[in-house]
Structure 1
Amino acid sequence: MYKLFVGGLPFSTTEDELRDMFAAHGTVASAIVVKDRDTGRSKGFGFVEFESDDEGKAAEKALNGSDMGGRSITVNEARPREERPRRDFGGGGGDRGGNRSW
């Protein structure tokens, strides 16, 4: 399996359209357009997974920088998501300083 990140998608792009665009370069195992959890609207990027590495690499080379719906898309090999550190907003209030005598 070879997974590609596809960025710069028009917000109207459907998963079928994404699959169709990449299918010319090999067997597409999956095509996903990432959507906002609250609104359901596209975030403008997605992922396409190919059955073989060779097909995925060929699609990456052929489609990176190509036009989709009037926008130039970015196609790169997807990297595993890095663990993001938890945001810790805790901590002490701290003394506001100064040499106050009260």
Structure 2
Amino acid sequence: MARTLYVGNLPWTTKADDLKEAFEAYGEVISSRVITDRETGRSRGFGFVEVNDEDADKMIEALNGAELEGRVITVNEAKARE
């Protein structure tokens, strides 16, 4: 089973591979993506990482409040769109 984690307050220069690399130290990453603005193509400052269910809590605990490229990131379980 997989869970999706929300990652907020990302530096504008962060790419999906950077996100994957940061999370892989704590478990298996299935996919990662940084959300970009449709018109400008620039990062919107947040993204999502899909991880194995058993690794998710460990990743949240380790990375929520951690520093990534000079910014303190927020990591929690993603909520479904309404």
Report if TM-score (shorter chain) is over 0.5. Answer: yes
Which structure has more relative contact order (CA 8 Å, sep 6+)? It is 2
Separation (CA, whole Å) in 1 of partners of 2:66 and 2:46: 14
Q: Secondary structure at the match of 1:62?
A: helix
Q: Partner residue of 1:81?
A: 81
In structure 1, the partner of 2:24 is: 23
Pair member with larger Rg: 1
Give the AA of the match of 1:66. Answer: A
CA distance in 1, matches of 2:28, 2:53: 11
Residue-pair matches, total: 81
Residue 39 of structure 2: SS of its match in structure 1?
coil
Aligned-pair Cα RMSD in Å: 0.6
TM-score (norm 2): 0.96
Q: Unmatched 5+ residue regions in structure 1?
A: 83-102
- Give the corresponding residue for 1:57: 57
Q: Which runs of 5+ in 2 are unaligned?
A: none
1:48 aligns with 2:49: yes
Alpha-carbon distance, 1:56 to partner: 1.1
Please state how far the C-alpha of 1:57 moved relative to its aligned partner.
1.2
Q: What is the one-letter code of the residue matched to 2:5?
A: L
Aligned identity (percent) is 51
4+ aligned runs moved over 6 Å, structure 1? none
Equivalent residue, structure 2, for 1:7: 8
1:33 counterpart residue number:
34
Cα shift at 1:54: 1.7
Letter paired with 2:32: A
AA aligned to 1:28 is V
